[in-house]
Structure 1
């Protein structure tokens, strides 16, 4: 009889801790968004024609991220139990995470390009460029780790581990 992979166990526990924490934090965001009259709060934040339409989607984004963290938590727990549906769900969520990293970099680029020229803002423009590249490097690193985890979860050895003696 083969033993369970330490890789799957380690990944599952790491994501149980991460998704548990972020589910809890997202729950507070859901409560705050649900209790806040958003129309007046957002209209006072910005008079920029580009920003205001995006702010309308903040509540939906908060609810979606809460749901994704809860689903990640559930699939991480079931990953420990070697449920194949959890492995497939987990791979899908990691793939969605990679897509989010790409979208995040694109949105950051769009937001920076919408800002006024650097006249009168001094070193702020240089700092923005530095953080753009830092965030881009971070997104590439996170995406690389997620691709590596996906590749390992799709390996024949781990697929076999999830299909042994289990009818789902």
Structure 2
């Protein structure tokens, strides 16, 4: 019998709980995985994608503002031992634009990439280790995490312990 967890859903009470989940993911990456991850973020505008990413970036050691890269496509965070990239592809007109910005350079073992609106980059993005869906649930948020690779499964296994 296979005990691998590939999907988990949480209810988050508020913005602070969303940030806390991001920080928890960062702790798992730094302490347990010790390698970068690729995360696709799905959800309506305002559902908490940037808030979750903010928690992750802060959890990885960034001090300061974490803003949405809506107009720049990517916001890089150069941290002591890590590179964290927050992509927002909402305004991307054509996935081939990613090739011109050197998209392949953003994915390596010491890089963590959180990608909002990943469907806009279809065909140019590598497979995500994890897909996170955020949805409104009255004043709360429902967050579903789907592991897509063995690394994603490992991350999720530490999260649900």
**TM-score w.r.t. length of structure 2:** 0.26
- Tell me which protein shows more helix as a share of its residues: 1
- Tell me which protein shows more strand as a share of its residues: 2
Task: Pick the structure with greater CA Rg.
Answer: 1
Which has the bigger relative contact order, CA under 8 A and spacing at least 6?
Answer: 2
